[in-house]
Chain A
Amino acid sequence: MRVSILILILGMGLVTFLPRFLPMAFLTRWVIPERVKMGLGYIPIAILSAIVFPILFFNEGGKVEIQPHYLLSAIPVFIFAWKVKSLWASVILGMLVYWGLGFVL
C-alpha cells in the first residue's frame, strides 16, 4: 500500500471512529436526564425520515426535483411495509417495483 493512501485511510478511520465512539463511551457512564432520553427516542424516526424523504425529492446532482421513479416505487413499499412489517420482503418488493417501472417510465 502506498504511504499516502495509508495516511488517508487512517485519517478517515480516526475521524469516523470518534463520533461513533465518544457518545457511547461517555453516555453509558453518565446519568441521562429523562428529557434527553425522550429526545433520543425520536432519533431513529428523525434520521430515517431525513434519509428517505430527500431521496424522493432530489436528483443525483443535489438539486430539488421530484423523482417519479423513486416516488412511485416508494408508495407501494410504504403501504406493504405498513401491513407486513418484513424488512426482507420490503427490500425484494421495492427492487421488483423499481425494476419493473424502469421498463415503463
Chain B
Amino acid sequence: MLNTNQFRDGAKAALPVVLGYLPVGMAFGVLARQAGLTPFEAGSMSILVYAGASQFLAIEMISKSISWFPIVIATFFINLRHLLMSSTLSLHFKGHRLRTLSFLSAQLTDESFSVAMSNTSKISNRPSYLFGLQMTSQIAWIAGSVGGALFGKLIDHKDYGIPFALSSLFICLLVIQIKKIHHLWVMMIAGISSIVFKWVLPGNWYILLTGILASGIGIAIEMAGRDKK
C-alpha cells in the first residue's frame, strides 16, 4: 500500500531534480519536434523510456533517418550503467514484492538514484518515499518534454545558468557522499579513471567501468584499513 506521508516526503526531496528536469526536458521536446516527432510521440518516449541521454541520442539518430534497431542497441548500451544503481538500491528493498520493485526500477535515473542515496535511512524499506521522489521527477521530465514539443522554446535552455543546474546538483550529491577520508581517495581515483575511460572508449562506457573499478578500489582500501587494526 502507498504510504502517503512517505510519498509526500519523497516528492519534496525531488524538487531540486525538478528544477533541472523541466528545462532539459523542454530542450528534448524542442529537438524532438524538430526531428519530426509529434508532442504525443515525444511525451510517450518520456513516459516509456525515461532516460535523458538515450532520448537525446535517439532524436539525433532519427533526424539522420537511422532505423529503430540501431537506436535500440545504442540505448541498451547507454543505459547499462543502471545495472550498478539497481544493484545498490536492491540492498534497501530486501524481499519486497516484484510488482513494487518493477515500479521503482522503471523510474530509476542517475539523478533520482543519487538523491535517494544522499540519505539512505529515508529509502530503506520505504518504497513509497522512493516512489514519490521518482514519480515527481518523471512528471517534471514528461511535462518539460511535452511542453517543449508543444510550445517550443519558452526559455532558452542555454541561458540563466540552466546548463549548470544538474551539474550543481551532482556536485552537491557527490560532496554529501564524502563522509570519511578514504572516500576522497575513491573520488579522486574515480574522477581520473572516468576521464581516461571517456577519452579512450566510445559512448558512455566510462560510467559503468568507473563504477566497477572505483568500488573495487574502495573495497581494497577498506580491507587494508581493517587489516591494520
A positions within 8 Å CB-CB of B? 1-2, 4-13, 15-17, 19-29, 32, 35, 37-55, 57-58, 62, 64, 70, 73-74, 77-78, 81-82, 85-88, 90-91, 93-100, 102
Contact = CB atoms under 8 A, between A and B. Distances in A.
Contact of B171 (A32, A40, A62, A77): A77
Interface residues of B, number: 98
Majority SS at the chain B contact face: helix
B10 to A, nearest CB: 14
A4 B72 CA distance: 12
B4 to A, nearest CB: 23
B48 A13 contact: yes
A48 B177 contact: yes
Contact of B50 (A6, A16, A38, A64): A16
Contacts of A25: 98, 101-102, 105
A10 B37 CA distance: 15
B34 interface: no
B44 A24 contact: no
A39 B218 contact: yes
B215 to A, nearest CB: 4
A5 B108 contact: no
